[in-house]
Amino acid sequence: QVRLVESGGGLVQTGGSLRLSCAASGFNFSNYVMRWYRQAPGKERELVASVFNSGSNTAYADSVKGRFTISRENAKNTVYLQMNSLKPEDTAVYYCNAHRWVDFWGQGTQVTVSS
């Protein structure tokens, strides 16, 4: 069955870094656009970053440009989100998403940035 398993979340101080990973299985990973979303308490889920099939094309929300980097390893069926210069407003549950004609979601990983 389809599985997306996120890891790497945690508690970090302002200015710190975290690297999220999402391990995928049960579908043809390289055919899917991979995305990271986040949802803060009381807010709607928002798209943070996308990486297209080959990994050469990426897109970012304005709020994270220059600080976050999304990448993928198709051979390992894994997508990453390197998060640098973290701010308290980055605090949220981060979700991995696989998108083609359908969407698959992970269970989420909590990222908390303390001020």
Q: Tell me the per-residue pLDDT of 63-86, one tens digit each, with 9 for 90 and over.
A: 999 999 999 999 999 999 999 999
Tens of pLDDT, residues 24-58:
999 999 999 999 999 999 999 999 999 999 888 99
Residue 34 has what pLDDT? Answer: 98
Phi-psi region of 98 (alpha: psi -120 to 50; beta: other; left: phi over 0): beta
| 3-class DSSP assignment, residue 54 | coil
Residue pair 77/24 in contact (Cβ under 8 Å)? The answer is yes
CA atoms within 13 A on the CB side of 87: 8
Residue pair 81/7 in contact (Cβ under 8 Å)? The answer is no
Dihedral sign (CA 50, 55, 57, 62): positive
